[in-house]
């Protein structure tokens, strides 16, 4: 199955700023998925990123807040814009591989 590297692994950011999270996969994949995991909660799908087209966002998530880039088949970025303390979460990327889906280890974001 694919191996995913996420950067940064964690960050502490000031409110009102933006953070871009990178997701690198060791093989070419058509779809990449971004999830959010709020403290003590389950994972929530943010959007699906296809190479060469606009990302598809789930209900409750908008492009202005979570812009996504997908420049090639092995890389994607998620930006958390104009952050507030409510954005403090773990953000994970995922790709389809093997018998299921492979997840990165996540980016732990704290907004102060």
Partner 1 sequence: DAKTTQPPSMDCAEGRAANLPCNHSTISGNEYVYWYRQIHSQGPQYIIHGLKNNETNEMASLIITEDRKSSTLILPHATLRDTAVYYCIVRGAGDNFNKFYFGSGTKLNVKP
The verdict on 105 binding partner 1 (CB under 8 A) reads yes
Sequence-distant (6+) residues with CB within 8 A of 96 are 29, 30, 31, 102
The verdict on 101 binding partner 1 (CB under 8 A) reads yes
Query: Contact letters (x/-) for partner 1, 43-82, by CB under 8 A?
Result: xxx--x----------------------------------
Minimum Å gap between C-beta 109 and partner 1 is: 14
61 burial (CB, 10 Å; 0-12 / 13-18 / 19+) is middle
Which among 26, 20, 18 is positioned nearest to 1, based on CA atoms?
26
Positions touching partner 1 (CB under 8 A) are 1, 4, 31, 33, 35, 42-45, 48, 92, 94, 96, 98-106, 108
């Amino acid at each position: 199955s694919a191996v995913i590297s996420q950067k940064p692994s964690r960050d502490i950011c000031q409110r009102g700023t933006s953070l871009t999270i990178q997701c690198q996969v060791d093989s070419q994949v058509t779809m990449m998925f971004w999830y959010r995991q709020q403290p003590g909660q389950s994972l929530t799908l943010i959007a699906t990123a296809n190479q060469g087209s606009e990302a598809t966002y789930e209900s409750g998530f908008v492009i202005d807040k979570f812009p996504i880039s997908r420049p090639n088949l092995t890389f994607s970025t998620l930006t958390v814009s104009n952050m507030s303390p409510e954005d403090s979460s773990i953000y994970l990327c995922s790709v389809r591989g093997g018998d299921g889906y492979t997840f990165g280890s996540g980016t732990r974001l704290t907004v102060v």
